[in-house]
Amino acid sequence: GENVEQHPSTLSVQEGDSAVIKCTYSDSASNYFPWYKQELGKGPQLIIDIRSNVGEKKDQRIAVTLNKTAKHFSLHITETQPEDSAVYFCAASRTSGTYKYIFGTGTRLKVLA
């Protein structure tokens, strides 16, 4: 079946450094790629997304890049802060009436003060 591989599973960075999380998807028909942040004891929350007709998207300290040919997409967080510590999930989906995402396995990011 279709899947999304996410790496690394854990990532520790010093406060102020950058963090990069990478995902690879298998369904070539996927055209929507969201990233979700999950804080302890809470449900995931959308932080940024990108569609297949765009190569890069930025929102303040976070950015997502997409290489559709290689079926790779990545999350970049710059100037990391302790509140960035959380579990991050990537996902891939075809755009349709109901979005059936395939999620990655998650990355636990720790920002060390």
Partner 1 sequence: NAGVTQTPKFQVLKTGQSMTLQCAQDMNHNSMYWYRQDPGMGLRLIYYSASEGTTDKGEVPNGYNVSRLNKREFSLRLESAAPSQTSVYFCASSGGTYNEKLFFGSGTQLSVL
Q: Identify whether the C-beta of residue 67 lies closer than 8 Å to the C-beta of residue 58.
A: no
Which residues from 52-111 bind partner 1, rule CB under 8 A?
A: 89, 93, 95, 97-101, 103-106
Q: Identify whether the C-beta of residue 21 lies closer than 8 Å to the C-beta of residue 88.
A: yes
* Per-residue binding letters, 5-44, with partner 1 (x by CB under 8 A): -x--x----------------------x-x-x----xxxx
Least spacing, CB of residue 67 vs partner 1, in Å: 21
Q: Identify whether the C-beta of residue 26 lies closer than 8 Å to the C-beta of residue 71.
A: yes
Q: Using CB under 8 A, pick the residue from 11, 22, 27, 49 that binds partner 1.
A: 49
Structure-block tokens of residue 15: 């406060």
